[in-house]
Structures are given as structure tokens and as C-alpha cells.
Chain A
Amino acid sequence: MLKTIIILLPFVLIAVFWAMAARERRLANDPSRKSFFERNGAVISTYLLVAVGFWAIMMIVLPQLYMVDYSFHPKLPPSERGGPKDVYTLANYKFFLFGPQIGNEVTWNTTHIRAFFLTIGASMFVTFVNFCLCYPLAFYLAQVATAQRLRLLMMALIVPFWVNEILRAFALRIMLGTSGLINNALIALGVIGEPIDFLGLDIGLYVGLSYAYLLMMIFPLYNAIESLDKNQIEAARDLGAPWWHIHLFVVMPFAKPGIASGCTMVFMLSAGALAAPLFLGGPNSLWFTPIVYDRFFQAFNWPQGAAYAFILLLACIFFVLAVLKVFKVGLGEITR
């Protein structure tokens, strides 16, 4: 019953908007305004509607709604689905908070909760580090570099981006492993006596995340700073502003949409990263995405996995909204 409503919801919404559009057109009484079908002709109209309808409804909206619905169901064998046991339940969310309950004592599911908050916190940290690393380069590319140099550096940035995420994680593993290059070099130089376990200490994980999403920060920043008029910087300099004033009060406010866009992308990608935690995380490292992964492929509890995925999704939505609020920019500006 509820499921039918969920499935019909997007269609009803579209019908309502369509009717409103038709009514407004009638009231405007302007013959040059044509309806969608009159305007595009039958063939193109059908193509547009089918393509966008399939994408928006069958690929975006319904799967997401369906996943949420699924997360409120118990785990059941296929034969019992839709049967009397198939009721709405909060069990999967309770499991995230309290874990498997043994006896009457209420215990918190500390492992998962800690992993969740650690993931959010560490992703913010990685986002911040990447911003600090990328801002000078983006500024240099956008305002200082000559056209020739710009093209060369841009290409140098894009090429490693085409290397697969997993291979990049692998490259870092070669570097940071206990018998890897960095440890060998440090030992050879006599800086340390025995190898440092970078991967076990989660240093590998954070380096890997920062490394993987460096470019997601550079390009939005570059695009935003590039459109800043050089005269504004000159003017500020002539008026005696020190260099950090120029960046803090001239460049950064101007580049706000780019900063917001880069930050949301890096945060979202880090929080949802699967490759880096799987390949660079130590045996004790906690990251939320591999836990979600394990719900599916080790616990074989799909509804629970869906619940965990939904929790992650909520955290990401919350972060995006918070960034939009803090930077006072619209969604349209950050996805440009």
C-alpha cells in the first residue's frame, strides 16, 4: 500500500506541475507561447520526455525512495516477502545505535557509531587540508601563470587524474608500506631505527584520501578565481593591502561558489570513499563505507545495509546544506 503511494508520488507531482503550466499559459492568452508538444513536435517531445522521465524517475527518484523504504523492513528470505512477517520496523536503525542486544542490558553499538563520526570528522579534515594545498596552486594558475605555462600545468594535473582510483591507492601503498620506499629511505638515512607502520596508523588512509581527491578541489577553485578581474587585486595592492588581506577579503569572497563546490565534492567523495579505506586502511581502521559494504557482502543483511547507506546519505545531505548556508550560495552555483 505504502509502496504504491511511493511509486505514484513522482508522477502525481509531474502532473500537478504540468497542469499548473497549462493553466498559466491559458490565462496569459499569448498566442506566441506554445505548449511543450506544439513547440517540439511529436518525435522530439517523445524523445525528451522518455529520456528525462526514465532517468529522473527510474534511475534517480524511485531507487532512492525504494532504498529508504527497504531499510525499514526486516531481513526475510524471498518466500516470506510480502507475507505477514513483512512489516515496517525500526530494527535496522536500532542496530546501528545499540548493536545486537544480549540480555536486558542496553549497550551502545560503539564500533559503528564511532566509525560514523570518525568518517565525518576525518572527511572534514581531509577537505580542509586539500583546500589549503590547492588554493595557492589554483590562484597561481588562475592569476599568475602565463598561458603557455598554464596549459602545461593543466595537462600535468589532468594526466594523473586519469589513473584509476585503485591504482593510485596501490601506488601509495608501495610508497608507505613497512618495506616501502619511504621507510627504506628513512632507515637508510638513519632517521629511524625500524619501519613506521604508516598504514596501521591510518596515515596511509588520510594521505590516500587527500591524494585521490586533490583535483576535485583544484578545478572548482581555479574556475572561480579565473573570472576575478586582475584590476581588483591591483587596486587592493595599490591601496596598501598586505598579501593576506588580498586573499582573505578580495579573492576568497569572490571565489566563494568555487570554494563551496570544491569542499562539498571532496567531502562527499571522502565520506563515500571505498577504495582508499579498503586498500590503505590498517586492520584496525574504522571507516563507515566498508562497514556498509560488509553489511551486504559479509552479513548478507541487505535491509540493514540500506539503512546504513541511508544514514550516510543523510549525513551528506546535511553537510551540503550546511555548506550552502555557511557560504550563502545556491545549489546552482556549486554544481557549475
Chain B
Amino acid sequence: MNSRGIMKAMIAVYLGIFFTYLFGPLLVMGVTAFNTPTYPQAFPFQTFTTHWFADLLGDRDMMEGLWNSIIIGLGVICLAVPVGLAAAIVMTQVYWRARSLYYLVVVSPVLTPGVILGISTVIFWKDFTEATGTKQIEILGMDFGLYSGIFLSIIGQSTFICAYCMLVFLSRLQRFDRAQEEAALDLGASFPQVFWHILLPFLRPAIFSSAILAFLSSFENYNTTTFAILANKTLVTVLAGRVRQGTTPALSALAVIIVGISLIGAIAYEVLRRREDRIAAQRAKVAREAERDGMAAVPQAA
């Protein structure tokens, strides 16, 4: 019994150290955002100030970068989610002899360093746009050329984000009951009808989660973007430039905002999931009771 106690204490100490390592630097950074010295300092704490936050709002480069980041993130969602879905469906249908090669090709971006994806994207699209004359396309006096930082960033990031989305869809598809499809086909539905009315509704949660995943991965990406963005900027590349120049508490302030947003997102997600769990549990309970009372003569679905 005593060794159990020691074990428990050891686990507690270990958890304490681990989470201090994980959160310590972030907490310190959070404190520096509200401290007055121009070099980010947590201790000694001089006076409470919010002027680093005001600094941030007045920073035009950062605001422009933020705007570009959002555009790129939305672009990545529009590209990566449909492609990931298609890739997952093709995976279930692809000719079996080609399957392992297909898998190798589509999963390789996940295992490739981000800088390499950025470099290859820029090199390829530079020549491609030159060869096809799409480097600059003017529509109504605005340049919609394909050789632009925003477009290349969307393409470069999507190279691996599509694979993330595909993996999300694949894991959901694994739980797909083929019997549903067969039942629909037996009842005279065509394959496209099965796709629209059975497969897509089943995959809806995966569509949402892959869209969120795609946006977040795009938003915080640095390695690929720093090459693909060319002369343009995103929030992260602006940030990188600032950190290289020197450290100011305004960066801590930005971090506080980002952490705050993630915290709210995580809590909202958690609350939603708990409510869903509760509803599901309630439904299961009602079903069980109904069955016990002999009211449900229908065999239960698997």
C-alpha cells in the first residue's frame, strides 16, 4: 500500500514538472505583456499597463499581415477540404495494385519538411506561370496573376493540409457502415444519390473539423509560408521579422490575445461536446428502457 502512495506522489511530481515546462514560458510571457519595461520582463513587476496592446493595434504591417493570413486561411479551407474529401473517397475505390503507391504519394507531404514544400512550390509555379503566360492576369485593372504570394501560399500550405484533411476523412470513413450504402443501392438508389444523401451527411462532422484544422494549420504556418509568400506578408512572417529584430512586450501582448482566443475556442468546443455526450447518453438510456419494457420489437442497429 505504501509503495502505491510513493507511486502516486511520483506521478503528481512528474505531472507538475511536465505542465510547468509546458505552461511556464507562456505564463511568463503573459505577465510581461502587462509590465512596463521595454525589455519583456516578468520580475520585478513594475506597474500594470495595457499600452503594449494599444501599440499592437496601431501596427499597420501586422494588421495587413493579419488580413492576408485570414484570406489565405479561407483559401486553404476552400481548396483543402474538397480535395481531402475526394482523396479519401478515391482511397476507398482506387485500383488495389495502385493503392500503396497512391497512399505513399498523398501521405508524403506530411512527412516532408515544410521548407521543402515551400521551395518546390515557388520553383514549380514560377516556371509554370511563365510557360503558360499566367504570371499576370489583369481583370478590371486588378492583378489576379497566379505568381502572387497569396496564391502560392494557399497552394504550398494546401499541399500538406490536404493530407491532414484526408486523414480526418479516412478515420471517419473507417466507421462508415457499408450496409447503409448497400441498403440504399438495393432500394434502387444510384451511386451519386448514395454520395449526396448518405455519404456526405455521414461525413458532415468530419467536414467541420477538417475545416477548422485546415484554417488553424494555415494560420500558424511559418516554414512553408516564408518561402511561398514572396514579397507579401502574413501575420506570422511579420511576427518572425519582429522577433528577429528584437524583443518587445508588444509581441507578448499579441501572444496573450492569441492564447485567449484559443482558450475560448477550446472551452466552447468542450462545452458543445459535453452537451452532445449528454444528449447521446440520454437517448441511449431511453432506448434501453424502451427495449426492456418490450416496446421495441425492432432489432437494434449495430
| Chain A residues within 8 Å of B, Cβ to Cβ | 17-18, 20-21, 24, 36, 39-41, 43-44, 47-48, 51-52, 54-56, 59-64, 66-67, 70, 133, 136-137, 140, 144, 151, 153, 155-160, 162-175, 177, 179, 181, 184-185, 211, 214, 264, 268-269, 271-275, 278-279, 289, 292-293, 296, 302, 305-306, 309, 312-313, 316, 320, 331-332, 335-336
Decide yes or no: A167 and B190 within 8 Å by CB, A20-B97, A278-B240 being known contacts.
Answer: no
Interface-facing stretch out of B14-22, B53-61, B278-286, B290-298: B14-22
The segment from B137-145, B202-210, B247-255 that touches chain A is B247-255
Residues of A within 8 A of B259 (CB): 159, 162-163
- Are A167 and B251 touching (Cβ within 8 A)? yes
- Tell me the complex Cα distance, A51–B265, Å: 31
- Provide the residues of chain B in CB contact with A157, threshold 8 Å: 22
Q: B15–A52 contact, CB under 8 A?
A: no
- A52 B227 Cβ-Cβ under 8 A: no
A63→B121 contact, CB < 8 A:
yes
* Complex Cα gap A316–B112 (Å): 7
B15-A137 in contact (CB<8A): yes
Chain A residues positioned under 8 Å from B22 (CB to CB)? 156-157, 160, 211, 214
Nearest CB in chain B: distance from A25 CB, A: 9
Enumerate chain A residues within 8 angstroms of B167, measured Cβ to Cβ.
335-336
Q: Are A272 and B255 in contact (CB under 8 A)?
A: no
A residues in contact with B82, CB < 8 Å = 47, 51
CB closest chain-A residue, reference B167: A335
Asked if B106 contacts A56 (CB within 8 A), the reply is: yes
| B65 CB to nearest A CB, Å | 12
Does A155 lie within 8 Å of B124, measured CB to CB? Answer: no
In the A-B complex, the 7 residue pairs with the closest CB atoms = A272-B113, A51-B86, A162-B262, A63-B120, A171-B25, A63-B124, A21-B95
Contacts of B23 in A (CB 8 A): 156, 160
Q: Would you give the shortest CB distance from B39 to chain A, in whole angstroms?
A: 7
Out of A169, A181, A289, A335, name the residue touching B113 (CB < 8 Å): A289
A163/B155 in contact, CB under 8 A: no
Q: Which of B87-124 contact A (CB under 8 A)?
A: 87, 89-90, 93, 95, 97-98, 102-117, 119-121, 123-124
CA distance A166 to B258 in the complex (A): 12
Check B95 against A171 for contact (C-beta < 8 Å). no
Find out whether the CB atom of A67 lies under 8 angstroms from the CB atom of B123. yes
Q: Is the interface of A mostly helix, strand, loop or mixed?
A: helix
Indicate if the CB atoms of A52 and B83 lie closer than 8 Å.
Answer: yes
Is the C-beta of B159 less than 8 angstroms from some C-beta in chain A?
A: yes
- The answer to whether B11 has its CB under 8 Å from any CB of chain A is yes
Q: Which residues of B contact A211 (CB under 8 A)?
A: 21-22, 25
Chain A min CB distance to B193 (Å) = 9
B18, A164: Cβ atoms under 8 Å?
no
A40 touching B195 in the complex, CB below 8 Å, given contacts A48-B90, A52-B86, A66-B123: yes
| In the bound complex, CA of A331 to CA of B21 (Å) | 32
Given the known inter-chain contacts A51-B83, A157-B22, A162-B262, please indicate yes or no for A170 contacting B112, CB distance below 8 A.
Answer: no
Whether the pair B115, A169 counts as a contact (CB closer than 8 A) is no
| Cα of A332 to Cα of B101 in the assembled complex, Å | 11
- Contact between chains at B115 and A309 (CB < 8 Å): yes
Contacts A166-B243, A174-B252, A313-B116 given; indicate if A41 touches B25 (C-beta within 8 A).
Answer: no
Instruction: Using A159-B259, A163-B26, A163-B262 as known contacts, say yes or no to A48 and B89 having CB atoms under 8 A apart.
Output: yes
Task: Decide yes or no: A272 and B116 within 8 Å by CB, A60-B159, A167-B239, A335-B110 being known contacts.
Answer: yes
Q: A67 near B124 (CB under 8 angstroms)?
A: yes
Q: Which residues of A contact B236 (CB under 8 A)?
A: 164, 166
Bound-state CA distance A18–B192 (Å) is: 22
Interface contact A17-B98, CB-CB below 8 Å:
yes
Contact B195–A44 (Cβ < 8 Å): yes
**Cβ distance A15 to chain B, nearest Cβ, rounded Å:** 11
Contact between B28 and A155, CB atoms less than 8 A apart: no
B26 touches A171 (CB 8 A): yes
Contact residues in A for B112 (Cβ distance below 8 Å): 268, 272, 313, 316
The residues of B that contact A21 with a CB separation of less than 8 Å are 95, 97-98
B191 shortest CB reach to chain A, Å: 5
Q: Is B218 an interface residue (CB 8 A)?
A: no
Task: With CB as the reference atom, state the residue of chain B lying closest to A280.
Answer: B243
A264 to B22 Cα, complex, angstroms: 22
Min distance, Cβ B289 to any Cβ of chain A, angstroms: 24
B120: which A residues are within 8 A, CB to CB? 63-64, 66-67, 306, 309
CB distance from A210 to the nearest CB of B (A): 9
The answer for the CA separation of A106 and B100 in the assembled complex, in Å, is: 45
Q: Nearest chain A CB to B9's CB is how many angstroms away? A: 14
Asked whether, in the complex, the Cβ of B240 is within 8 Å of the Cβ of A166, the reply is yes
The answer to whether residues A289 and B124 also contact, given A151-B270, A171-B28 and a CB cut-off of 8 A, is: no
Question: Which chain A positions have C-beta within 8 A of B158?
Answer: 55, 59
Partner among B18, B102, B222 whose Cβ is within 8 Å of the Cβ of A274: B222
Chain A residues positioned under 8 Å from B247 (CB to CB):
170, 173-174, 177
- 8 A-B Cβ contacts within 8 A? A21-B98, A55-B87, A63-B117, A137-B15, A211-B22, A293-B115, A309-B116, A336-B171
Measured CB to CB, the closest approach of chain A to B31, in angstroms, equals 9
| In the complex, per-residue mask of B136-172: 1 if CB is within 8 Å of any chain A CB, else 0 | 0000000000000000000100110010000100010
Complex-state Cα separation, A332 to B103, whole angstroms: 8
Among A174, A214, A336: residue with most chain B CB under 10 A: A174
